[in-house]
Amino acid sequence: MSEKYLIINAGSSSLKFSLYEVPEMKEIVNGYIEKIGNVDSFYTLKFNGKKLEKRKAIMDHTEAVRTMLEELLDNQFIVDVSEIKGIGHRVVHGGEFYSQSVVIDEEVLNNIKDLTKLVPLHHPGEIAGIESMKSIMPDVPQVAVFDTAFHQTMPRENYMYALPYSWYEENGVRKYGFHGTSHRYITEEMQKYFNKKDVNLIICHIGSGASISCIKDGECYDTSMGLTPLDGLIMGTRSGSIDSSIIEYICKERSLTVEEVTSILNKKSGLLGIAGQNDFRDLEALANKGDEKAQLAIKMLRNSIAKFIAQYYVELGGQVDALVFTAGIGENAITLRSDIIKSISSAMGIELDADANNNIARFKEIQSGVISTLSSKFKVMVIPTNEEYMILKDTFELSQQVKSKGQSKVLKK
Ligand code: AMP
């Protein structure tokens, strides 16, 4: 018999949720509450091909959770909250505590609270979401699915920064990596595709946030994001890796505080900083009209991606099963994919199948497949990511284990 599961993804000022019927994994409704903390907050509900928009002042995440439940009840997606049998939360940071998804108990919640110092924008909303659901449904299993968990297999030489060792031991300064749920999804899809566990992959998750992972023998070996999601590639509004001396220099030159500069590195840099546009579609449109800064931003993004691919190609000793593009830009930006592949093709012995590349995007008939020629040394592929599915799958499996055993806390593989 089907059961209902709720998936919650709380951002710093937003809350996304989806209600699913399981085991069919069928979405009943999804909602997106935006501008939490503002009087002009609003939300949308999507179900049965319909879209409902409402405006309401929602001052914090606890109120957002209440609004979500009211909507689920008012629209009769559930008749009573007791119909919800499991709740999955996307949690940004699991630190070194978690390499897999877990059922949230007091200890887990305390660890998530401890990690707030590393992601002060994200965790408060996530914690409020968990605590509100716990007060309303204390007996329903709640599961945390961490963005960092998949990257916990990285060897020490790849996750340490060359900084005083005590900063790692006492302050947790190391590379954690993010988008782990997406990188895990693609890895599992590739394991099915190649029919083997020990796949070697370079996964390019290129969306408004972007990261590339190096997968060796089916596990994360290296990744481009670091202590926080600011590191690595050039992104929509984030700078990616920069010389850290820039921070002190620009603080003095422009009389800014460290907090102000950090905020600019996160919200006003990247493609937006260079060309005034962070949405890749708008940026491409500008570039096509001859805008030089937009053209420069796209070339910088291409090079930033190509450099990580080259690094991971070397880390894998050239033994790559597939280079995979995913997320909003990776799945859709046909010209960028082509430019990236052209820039690495002779060095790596791969060749673009231009027709296949032109035919694959979310807005086309085909959304996934191989975009390299048969004679290429390894496959280049486009695979749509599905983080929601992973969160739902972990939540379902862990909730079932809790129900059957009453105590299992960590997902059994
Ligand atoms: P995500 O964060 O994965 O949702 O990706 C968002 C990014 O994907 C934005 O920069 C979008 O402009 C980009 N994107 C979405 N659709 C397309 C498209 N058809 N062509 C190019 N970029 C796209």
Digit-coded pLDDT (tens) for 196-255? 999 999 999 999 999 999 999 999 999 999 999 999 999 999 999 999 999 999 999 999
Which burial class, exposed, middle or buried, applies to 332 when counting CB atoms under 10 A from its CB (0-12, 13-18, 19+)? buried
How long a stretch of residues is the chain?
413
What is the dihedral angle through the alpha carbons of 294, 224, 371, 316, rounded to the nearest 10 degrees? Answer: 140
Q: Give the residue, out of 185, 271, 332, with the most ligand 1 atoms within 8 A of its beta carbon, to mutate for a pocket test.
A: 332
CATH architecture of structural domain 3-146+390-405: 2-Layer Sandwich (3.30)
DSSP 3-state of 28: strand
Of 35-44, 86-95, 323-332, 378-387, the range with the lowest mean pLDDT is 35-44
Distance CA 299, CA 305 (A): 10
**CB of 330 sitting under 6 A from ligand 1:** no
pLDDT digits (tens, 9 = 90+) for 353-399: 999 999 999 999 999 999 999 999 999 999 999 999 999 999 999 99
CA nearest neighbour of 318 among 341, 350, 352, 351: 350
The whole-chain average pLDDT of the chain stands at: 95
pLDDT at 314 over 60: yes
Judge whether 331 and 361 are in contact, CB under 8 Å.
Answer: yes
pLDDT of residue 11: 84
Using pLDDT thresholds of 50, 70 and 90, give the confidence band for residue 408. Answer: very low
169: amino acid identity, one letter: E
Q: Where in the chain is the domain with CATH 3.30.420.40?
A: 3-146+390-405, 196-382
pLDDT at 112 over 80: yes
Of 33-37, 87-91, 219-223, the range with the lowest mean pLDDT is 33-37
Using pLDDT thresholds of 50, 70 and 90, give the confidence band for residue 269. Answer: very high
Q: How far is CA 124 from the centre of its chain?
A: 18
User: What is the crossing angle of helices 334-348 and 292-315, to 10°?
Assistant: 40
Rounded distance from Cα 17 to ligand 1 centre (Å)? 21
pLDDT of residue 210: 97
Distance CA 393, CA 391 (A): 6
Of all residues in the chain, what percent carry a pLDDT higher than 90? Answer: 91
* CA 128 to each of CA 63, 93, 278, 292, 376: distance values in angstroms, whole numbers, following the listed order: 9, 15, 30, 44, 49
pLDDT at 3 over 50: yes
pLDDT at 334 over 90: yes
Distance CA 292, CA 92 (A): 36
Ligand 1: residue whose CA is nearest its atom 21: 333
Distance CA 76, CA 133 (A): 19
Q: Which of 40, 114, 147, 198 is labelled catalytic?
A: 147
pLDDT digits (tens, 9 = 90+) for 129-159: 999 999 999 999 999 999 999 999 999 999 9
pLDDT at 411 over 70: no
Residue bearing tokens 């309401």: 56
**CB of 333 sitting under 6 A from ligand 1:** yes
Distance CA 136, CA 113 (A): 20
Told to judge if 74 belongs to the known catalytic residues of this protein, a careful annotator would answer no
Does domain 196-382 correspond to CATH entry 1.10.540.10?
no
pLDDT digits (tens, 9 = 90+) for 50-67: 999 999 999 999 999 999
**CB of 153 sitting under 6 A from ligand 1:** no
- Bridge-based pairing of strands 15-22 and 26-34 is antiparallel
Dihedral sign from CA coordinates of 110, 116, 119, 122:
positive
Of 79-83, 92-96, 117-121, 161-165, the range with the lowest mean pLDDT is 117-121
pLDDT at 48 over 90: yes
Which burial class, exposed, middle or buried, applies to 365 when counting CB atoms under 10 A from its CB (0-12, 13-18, 19+)? exposed
> Cα–Cα–Cα angle for 75, 386, 119, nearest 5°?
90
pLDDT digits (tens, 9 = 90+) for 189-199: 999 999 999 99
pLDDT of residue 410: 54
Rounded distance from Cα 57 to ligand 1 centre (Å)? 29
**CB of 208 sitting under 6 A from ligand 1:** yes
Distance CA 204, CA 153 (A): 18
Phi, psi for residue 37 in degrees, rounded to 5 = 100, -5
Dihedral sign from CA coordinates of 358, 360, 362, 366:
positive
Distance CA 35, CA 329 (A): 25
Which burial class, exposed, middle or buried, applies to 161 when counting CB atoms under 10 A from its CB (0-12, 13-18, 19+)? middle
pLDDT of residue 218: 98
DSSP 3-state of 201: strand
**Residue 87: in which H helix or E strand, if any?**
strand 84-91
pLDDT at 312 over 50: yes
CA nearest neighbour of 209 among 151, 129, 272, 146: 272
pLDDT of residue 412: 45
